[in-house]
Amino acid sequence: MPTRWLFSPAVDLAAFGGSAALSFIALAIGWQCGWLDGEKGDTPEWTWIAGVLLIDVAHVWSTLFRTYLDGEELRRRPLLYSAVPLVGLALGVGLYSLGTVVFWRCLAYLAVFHFVRQQYGWVALYRAKAGERDRLGKWIDTLTIYLATIYPLVYWHSHLPRRFWWFLRGDFQNIPKIIANVLEPLYWIMLAVYFLRTAARGFPNPGKDLVVFTTALCWYVGIVAINSDYAFLVTNVVIHGVPYLVLVYWYGFLRTPGTRPRYQTLAFFVATIWVLAFAEELLWDRVVWKERSWLFGPSWRLDEWKWLLVPLLALPQFTHYALDGFIWKRRSNPDFTLVR
Flag the least confident range among 20-24, 33-37, 114-118. 33-37
Q: What is the mean pLDDT of residues 211-238?
A: 96
Q: Which range, of 28-42, 69-83, 146-160, averages the lowest pLDDT?
A: 28-42
CB 162 within 8 A of CB 227: yes
Confidence band, pLDDT 50/70/90 cuts, at residue 42: confident
Q: Which residue has the higher pLDDT, 257 or 213?
A: 213
**pLDDT band of 334, cuts 50, 70, 90:** low
Query: What is the predicted pLDDT for the residue at 156?
Result: 98
pLDDT at position 259 is: 65
- The answer as to whether 339 is a domain residue is no
Q: What is the mean pLDDT of residues 46-72?
A: 95
In this structure, the chain runs to a length of: 340
**Model pTM?**
0.93
Q: 263, exposed or middle or buried, with CB in 10 Å at 0-12, 13-18, 19+?
A: exposed
Residue 17: CB partners within 8 Å, gap ≥ 6? 210, 214
247 assigned to some structural domain: yes
Residue 209 has pLDDT above 50, yes or no: yes
Residue 267 is part of which domain span? 9-327
If one counts every other C-beta atom within 10 angstroms of the C-beta of residue 241, the result is 22
- 336 domain-assigned: no
CA distance 292 to 279: 13
Whether residue 103 is contained in a domain is answered as: yes
Share of the chain above pLDDT 90, in %: 85
Instruction: Specify the 3-state DSSP secondary structure of 338.
Output: coil
CA distance linking residue 174 with residue 76, whole number of Å: 43
CA distance 11 to 339: 13
The pLDDT score that the predictor gives to residue 339 is 58
Is 191 within the bounds of a domain?
yes
1 lies in a domain?
A: no
Answer yes or no: is 174 within a domain: yes
Question: Per-residue pLDDT averaged across 237-247, rounded?
Answer: 96
The answer to whether position 2 is within a domain reads no
252-297 tens-digit pLDDT: 887 666 667 788 899 999 999 999 999 999 999 999 999 999 999 9
Cβ proximity of 221 and 239 under 8 Å: no
The total of structural domains in the chain comes to: 1
CA-nearest of 329, 119, 113, 338 to 213 is 119
Q: Which residues contact 283 (CB under 8 A, 6 or more apart)?
A: 309, 313
Residue 223: name the closest of 332, 338, 115 by CA: 115
How much is the pLDDT for 331? 74
Which pLDDT score, from 0 to 100, does residue 21 have?
A: 97
What is the pLDDT at residue 1? 44
In this prediction, residues 20-38 reach a mean pLDDT of 94
